[in-house]
A = this chain, B = another copy of it.
Amino acid sequence: MKAHVYVTMRRGVLEPQGRAVQKSLENLGYTQVKGVRIGKFIEVELDGVSRQEAENILEEICRKLLANPVIEDFRFEIVEE
């Protein structure tokens, strides 16, 4: 079973990597780019679990390891059974 996890900085929390990229793009002439925020896109493969079990595991590992709930939001989706 395959899942995609998205981890993003919460709105209101400064995301310095994206800010640096935006500044670089501005210097390269891409003044139409007004905002860049960089998060994580995580592909997870699970074996021998039901959809419900997979969702429980994903919720847990996001909270424990993949995201920092104080400053980051996460969401996930099962993309392949």
Counting CB contacts under 8 A, is A66 at the interface?
Answer: yes
Q: Which residue of B lies closest to A25 (CB)?
A: B61
A-side interface size class: 35 or more
Name the distance in Å between A34's Cβ and chain B's nearest Cβ: 5
Of the candidates B33, B37, B66, which one forms a contact with A21 in the assembled complex, judged by CB atoms under 8 Å apart?
B66
CB-based nearest B residue for A48: B32
Q: How far apart are A15's CB and chain B's nearest CB, in angstroms?
A: 9
List the interface of chain A (C-beta within 8 A of B): 6-8, 18, 21, 24-25, 28, 30, 32-49, 53-54, 57, 60-61, 64-66
* 12 A-B pairs whose Cβ atoms sit less than 8 Å apart in the complex: A25-B65, A30-B60, A32-B46, A32-B47, A32-B53, A33-B45, A33-B57, A34-B45, A34-B47, A35-B44, A37-B43, A39-B41
